[in-house]
Structure 1
Amino acid sequence: MRLPQVKTLFCKRHVLSQFVRFTHQEHQTSKSVLYPLSNRKLLNVKGSDASVFLQGLITNDMRHFEDGAKSVYAMFLNNKGRVMYDTLVYKWKDDDSYLLECDSSIINAMQKHLKMYKLRRQLEIKDVNNEIKLWALISPSRSDIANDSLHIYKDPRLNELGLRIISSVSVNETQITDIIGSDITIENSDNGYKYLRYKLGVSEGAEDLPPGTSFPLEANCDYLHGVSFHKGCYIGQELTARVHHTGVVRKRLMPLKFTSDVKDIQQDTAITASNNLKTSIGKLKGTIQDYGLGLLRIKEALDAKMLKVEDYEAEVIKPSWWPIEAPREVTAKKEQN
């Protein structure tokens, strides 16, 4: 197949991917649900050097905020290109102020990581969780709004992940529904939100991405708009850029649909094809009810009719938000033939 044909094929498949995703979104429930995110915390990075400082540490481009973005998804990497912390970055009240959302279990480690690179830069890094807190609103019809005690941001990863709400600690669920609208179901935990993430195939936090164990492209950071391949250097950039420009990502986090609810399976348990139990094709990263996340070799997982995790059976699901086929992967397949 000649390269122009490959390009045409990708364009057609990209259109099909967009149609599939649009159809999927059209069939989402119209019900709005509010989840408390008690396992997510916030750090405030503020000062004249804040944007330049973060630009040298995260995978995404802080210049998106200059173009009007209010939030971006990104990851902090170590010098070997592995994920230390995933984050959502929010433009906060002042021009030189940003909030960094992170897993509550690693907030102290992340704050220490930031301070290690602060040096003489003009900025302040502050834990603000005694002042503000986080919620997730899964709703098909809400948009950005704000008042003195409530700030709402579109999740920069996927439309299906709804909105993030940042409120003062004094604001409760009833007050939020009074501000946004009363047609909202209030949940007492984030289990439903985690179930949605796993169903979509989206990792989040140290439980899914233990610090120093994963690569950003394996965690679909590129597919979730969390990596800029056009910005300058940042910690871990060299390996990430080399994999993107010269290689094919053969393993990625993917959702698993189990035939029954799953209990008591340890993280990193081997995943095999049901017809070949001797060869591992991936590792389990987490479960909730009948869904899980697995780091899987893509081709082998999709070729298998059924997967096996200990005594449980599951099928792998290719997320609707993935590109149908990346141009480099098409070219790579062509060269192998």
Structure 2
Amino acid sequence: MPTLALLPSRAVLAISGEEASTFLNGLITANVEDVDAGSPAYGALLTPQGKILFDFFILRDADRYLVDCSAKQKADLIKRLTFYKLRAKVDITDCTDTMGVAAAWDGAELPGNVYPDPRSASAGLRTVATVAELSALTDAGEEAYEAHRISLGLADSDQDIGSGELFPHEANFDQVNGVHFTKGCYVGQEVVSRMRHKAKVRKRIVIAHGENGTLASGSEITTDGKVSGTVLSSLNNEGLALIRLDRLEDAYANAGEISAGDAQLSFSKPEWATFDMPEAPN
């Protein structure tokens, strides 16, 4: 059924000025030169050590870039961008009072600056639109969007990725078009490049399913008695989890118990994922 949800957890920034493209391209994992009207990018600003500070969507709107980012992280993102700005001819504007974000899937239509979610075709559409345009929509509620994105294995800025905690590969940025590997230098690029050429990424965000208990966000995941991961976002006993894949493989091989709190866990790989993930025994 066509579904549309307003996303009050998101905020909108505008980056403008004659050096905006060069400024952004030298900072973030996405290639801003590929961004055009209706052709967005998903990316992140990293620490120099290669961990994700902020993730966001970027789209082109006339002579400026619009940034769809976490509302909770907005102030810190503005502060970090301003720190890197120096004397660049760039203006950073908080548009949250006049613009907002919505998502739609299964054929629902949106007003404003509409773009396909670049992480997965199944995710549907997003828009950055005026508050007036959004207020006229029939809203299914952000919880409907939460259920949708969790079912697809798509990580949330606040609940799953956080700030300064995960490397891009651990948050599956290499799988959801979140890193452009050939565009050149950006903050943290050397670490990302090294991880790309490693034989395996030790831990990843995957879809978690809880049974015989409650799948609670923040719960430690144990496999054979060892702490092997953490439950991230969860809703109705479905969620996302950051899990050590090697320990998951060992637990499957030993028919060991996998749990978080009072819930027994099973895991699945998102439909878009191409990384190797251990398979549960039949």
Which TM-score applies when normalising by structure 1?
A: 0.75
Instruction: Identify the match of residue 129 of structure 2 among 145, 167, 172.
Output: 167
Is the 8 Å Cα contact of residues 217 and 234 (structure 2) preserved in structure 1?
A: no
Q: Where do 4+ consecutive residues of structure 1 move more than 2 Å?
A: 139-142, 260-263, 298-307
1:156 aligns with 2:126: no
Q: Separation in 1 of the partners of 2:41 and 2:230?
A: 28
Instruction: Identify the match of residue 89 of structure 1 among 49, 58, 61.
Output: 58
Instruction: Identify the match of residue 123 of structure 1 among 69, 90, 93.
Output: 90
Give the share of equivalent positions with the same residue, in percent.
29
1:186 aligns with 2:139: yes
Is the 8 Å Cα contact of residues 3 and 107 (structure 2) preserved in structure 1?
A: no
Is the 8 Å Cα contact of residues 61 and 113 (structure 2) preserved in structure 1?
A: no
1:135 aligns with 2:122: no
The 5 A counterparts of 1:253-264 are 253-259=205-211, 262=214
Deviations 1:86-138 (A, max 9, x none): 101111122xx101111111100000000000011111000011111111111
More helix by share: 1
* SS across alignment from 1:45: strand
Q: Separation in 2 of the partners of 1:93 and 1:119?
A: 24
Gaps of 5+ in 1: 1-30, 177-184, 327-337
Gaps of 5+ in 2: 278-282
* SS across alignment from 2:55: strand
Q: Structure 1 residues 53, 202: closer, same or farther in 2, change over 3 A?
A: same
The 5 A counterparts of 1:6-155 are 31-65=1-35, 70-94=39-63, 97-140=64-107, 150-155=112-117
* SS across alignment from 1:171: helix
Is the 8 Å Cα contact of residues 10 and 68 (structure 2) preserved in structure 1?
A: yes
Task: Report the Cα offset of residue 141 of structure 1.
Answer: 7.2
1:307 aligns with 2:258: yes
Q: Separation in 2 of the partners of 1:35 and 1:78?
A: 32
Q: Separation in 1 of the partners of 2:217 and 2:48?
A: 28
Q: Separation in 2 of the partners of 1:206 and 1:186?
A: 22
Count matched residues: 273
The 5 A counterparts of 1:184-223 are 186-187=139-140, 189-223=141-175
Task: Report the Cα offset of residue 211 of structure 1.
Answer: 0.8
Instruction: Identify the match of residue 221 of structure 2 among 262, 267, 271.
Output: 271
Is the 8 Å Cα contact of residues 259 and 314 (structure 1) preserved in structure 2?
A: yes
Q: Separation in 2 of the partners of 1:266 and 1:225?
A: 26
Q: Structure 1 residues 130, 141: closer, same or farther in 2, change over 3 A?
A: closer
* SS across alignment from 1:240: helix
Q: Separation in 2 of the partners of 1:137 and 1:63?
A: 26
Alignment RMSD: 2.2
Task: Report the Cα offset of residue 280 of structure 1.
Answer: 2.0
Task: Report the Cα offset of residue 171 of structure 1.
Answer: 2.1
Is the 8 Å Cα contact of residues 260 and 290 (structure 1) preserved in structure 2?
A: no
Is the 8 Å Cα contact of residues 44 and 127 (structure 1) preserved in structure 2?
A: yes
- 2:280 paired residue number: none
Q: Separation in 1 of the partners of 2:198 and 2:43?
A: 22
Deviations 1:241-290 (A, max 9, x none): 01102342121000101126736x452x32123xx1x2122122221121
